Chains A and B, each alone.
Chain A
């Protein structure tokens, strides 16, 4: 697992896709690949109201990534210093094994370069003391980035508040 954590508070997300756009634009990607994707679930009836959820799907930067194991060239690798899984374009030959191997479809195909691209947690921005592009542009601030111990406990607090009101 990477030492960072990218957390989405789904209650706040309005599905504006600003994160998706920012991600693509930072990586300069053509039509097609979406290293982070907001999956729209619903709408479905919850009680009296139709409700839609938006799930933010970047790369999970697995502890033991399938994509890294599948990659025959060593282009897909896990950084030892922070656990970020990223692809080295100089080594990638475009065999797409990482794409087929990932159970969540995180690595994407860039048809323009003929290579795989994926979420690298904007490690260059992190190094410069910034937050990942998706987090920076989120208008509702539903995305949080940090180390796991810094992540706000919004869901717990919200649950506690709800319980308190019920009583």
Chain B
């Protein structure tokens, strides 16, 4: 068997062996040790409360005292040492109800939740959406991410890549559902803040009102901190506001969600750049005792080609998108070349089109498949008429009279894959050609603009010119100074900045309270274990992911209206019902194995359960083949597979999906429930060699025994005595 990597489970198994080895002859010792074992088992099952850990130590102290035999004392010490060494894991199991190693079946998180940088309890809120409980869904999301609406529109949704349903047909539309529920809750005026802790008198300054800084501010404000955010730009939201174009993320969405954070008492000072409008000394004088640097990565990499600095029409994508976001809607030119293959390049190109540029081309030095941009974005850009020129490397920007007239490029070929498997573009000699353009927008990467951060003289920088932090606590080398977001990671995603903001808020709280910082990265929290939807297997199979309605292409090309139009109520609720509930079913495959290899029934065809070699899935065949023996349910470590007798039927269901229902038969004598006929047929087939006379007899276990007891009784009734 695989070595277990969860420390709770390892100690659990070790103690179990100790108890079974009968080393502990002393009955009192055996009893205390088994009580400790029960407590550890509770921890691994997610049933432990706050007092469990203390009780474990208490009981192991009992083992070491009370004049116990030496073997017991040794055991007591060892238990205590082992648990103490892994205290953080125990506490995390108790508090988060999550075991990221997957060794504790009841605490194994869903892959979507593990994939989410913010660790949102996705299955829980999907279920709530399916039940139409939108405000509660928002409440669950906001425990881990204060921006459900924003993330519901523009998140890179790594969760959907891990979605198990994707191995069956297509992943759950997790992001769209989040956007949908936010819209619903917001428009019903049910989108609210959780209760706030009383003011604790500590002042924290956040530098930068982007997703990272705002998230930290939100969680700190909830804890009772007095938070002030200083922001260099005249708008809130950071890159969400000035990087992501309006047609993907409407401004009012950002405004509404930031308003919620301001409502908690967070002060946001706009147009306040550190080092220019306010200095570190000013801030220190105001009484801030902790700082969070969340300035983002608003600087741009340069193309490093001739002519780059000579013309006003060469403008970096970040600067360009910012200018447009802040209201400058002048057309930059007629023919635009955007250089780069990421999401920023696509945003710059689509924005140009909307400003009236006649011809917009994205130049990328590799191929379509290697583009880092999100495939949906690429498709939408293609639909709108953006041209793509792959395997093209810009070489020189040329112009006349101080204006750009063209971009000289060379064609490239991909090299053979190197050791890491990556193919490099190699210029083809003599392939120079000039594109006739009047605007060039480089979008090849961003870097941290460290202007104004010099006052934090002890913070350390990496080679990539990002802030060096402890990735668990987001602490920099300077005491009381923390950093998150793109300033730490380099250009990354909104949800990663949010994850960092949450970590930083917890670390800043620990900093003020004098609690040691954690050593292990945070573990996503299981917020609840919600009920399933009960629905027939055929419906579960047949529901399909809805196609998101998009704005008409003509409208998209000329306006900044939101492109994705959202879901209808019915669509959203049906989509939620497709969820396979991987927070409960851990896809260990025991049910499939037992049904196929042990019982020889092969009623479960759940190919999606195998991560490495997914096979076909057919939930419907269970109804044809399953004999309702219940071995799958008996052996399910998480009770995901259940078999219950209800309304005269034996019903087998997996996370609420009804796989099979068979009519029950009853004992001829006492009326107790027997299995269904198909189950008895199965048994009869197996025992027919022995006694065909049993066929057709329907009698329960108890009656069978009682009858046979009577047959063997030695009382002779009076009338038969003589």
Binding site for B on A (CB under 8 A): 10-11, 37, 39, 41-42, 44-47, 51-53, 55, 57, 64-66, 69-70, 72-73, 93-97, 99-106, 108, 114-115
Given contacts A70-B687, A105-B704, contact A100 B709 (CB under 8 A): no
Q: Report A68 CB to chain B, min CB distance, Å.
A: 9
Look across to chain A and name the residue whose beta carbon is closest to the beta carbon of B704. A105
8 A Cβ contacts from B687-704 to A? 687, 689-691, 694, 700-702, 704
Q: Which of B629, B702, B714, B721 contacts A97 (CB 8 A)?
A: B629
| Contact call B705/A37, Cβ cutoff below 8 A | yes
B402 CB-CB contact with A under 8 Å: no
| Contact call A53/B683, Cβ cutoff below 8 A | no
B463 CB-CB contact with A under 8 Å: no
Given contacts A72-B600, A93-B631, A100-B679, contact A41 B713 (CB under 8 A): yes
Q: Which of B594, B686, B694, B704 contacts A93 (CB 8 A)?
A: B594
Given contacts A95-B599, A100-B683, contact A114 B705 (CB under 8 A): no
Q: How many residues of B contact A (CB 8 A)?
A: 38
| Contact call A104/B705, Cβ cutoff below 8 A | yes
Given pairs A69-B689, A105-B708, 9 additional interface contacts (CB within 8 A): A39-B709, A41-B715, A47-B718, A55-B710, A66-B687, A66-B691, A69-B686, A95-B599, A96-B630
Q: Report B668 CB to chain A, min CB distance, Å.
A: 14
Q: Which of A55, A72, A101 contacts B599 (CB 8 A)?
A: A72
Q: Which of B631, B691, B710, B716 contacts A95 (CB 8 A)?
A: B631
Q: Which residues from chain B contact A102 at a C-beta distance below 8 Å?
A: 704
| Contact call A105/B701, Cβ cutoff below 8 A | yes
Residue pairs across A and B with Cβ atoms less than 8 A apart, 28 shown, are A10-B714, A39-B708, A41-B713, A42-B713, A44-B715, A46-B715, A47-B721, A53-B714, A57-B708, A66-B691, A69-B690, A70-B683, A70-B686, A72-B599, A93-B631, A95-B598, A95-B631, A96-B675, A97-B682, A99-B701, A100-B674, A100-B683, A100-B701, A101-B686, A103-B708, A104-B708, A105-B702, A114-B634
Given contacts A55-B713, A95-B629, A96-B629, contact A101 B635 (CB under 8 A): no
User: How far apart are the CA atoms of A97 and B717 in the complex, in Å?
Assistant: 36
B22 CB-CB contact with A under 8 Å: no
Q: Which of B600, B634, B718 contacts A94 (CB 8 A)?
A: B634
Q: Which residues from chain B contact A42 at a C-beta distance below 8 Å?
A: 713, 715
| Contact call B709/A97, Cβ cutoff below 8 A | no
Q: Which residues from chain A contact B675 at a C-beta distance below 8 Å?
A: 96, 100
Q: Report A106 CB to chain B, min CB distance, Å.
A: 8
Q: Which residues from chain B contact A11 at a C-beta distance below 8 Å?
A: 714
Q: Which residues from chain A contact B705 at a C-beta distance below 8 Å?
A: 37, 39, 57, 104-106
User: How far apart are the CA atoms of A64 and B690 in the complex, in Å?
Assistant: 7
Look across to chain B and name the residue whose beta carbon is closest to the beta carbon of A45. B718
Binding site for A on B (CB under 8 A): 594, 598-600, 629-631, 634-635, 674-675, 679-680, 682-683, 686-687, 689-691, 694, 700-702, 704-706, 708-710, 712-718, 721
User: How far apart are the CA atoms of A38 and B680 in the complex, in Å?
Assistant: 27
Q: Which residues from chain A contact B689 at a C-beta distance below 8 Å?
A: 69
User: How far apart are the CA atoms of A102 and B687 in the complex, in Å?
Assistant: 10
| Contact call B706/A39, Cβ cutoff below 8 A | yes
| Contact call A46/B694, Cβ cutoff below 8 A | no
Q: Which residues from chain B contact A96 at a C-beta distance below 8 Å?
A: 629-630, 675
Q: Which residues from chain A contact B706 at a C-beta distance below 8 Å?
A: 39
Most buried by B among A11, A57, A72, A114: A72
Q: Which residues from chain A contact B716 at a C-beta distance below 8 Å?
A: 46
Q: Report B134 CB to chain A, min CB distance, Å.
A: 40
Look across to chain A and name the residue whose beta carbon is closest to the beta carbon of B679. A100
User: How far apart are the CA atoms of A99 and B683 in the complex, in Å?
Assistant: 10
| Contact call A55/B683, Cβ cutoff below 8 A | no
| Contact call A95/B694, Cβ cutoff below 8 A | no
Q: Which residues from chain A contact B674 at a C-beta distance below 8 Å?
A: 100
Q: Which residues from chain B contact A44 at a C-beta distance below 8 Å?
A: 715, 717
Q: Report A87 CB to chain B, min CB distance, Å.
A: 14
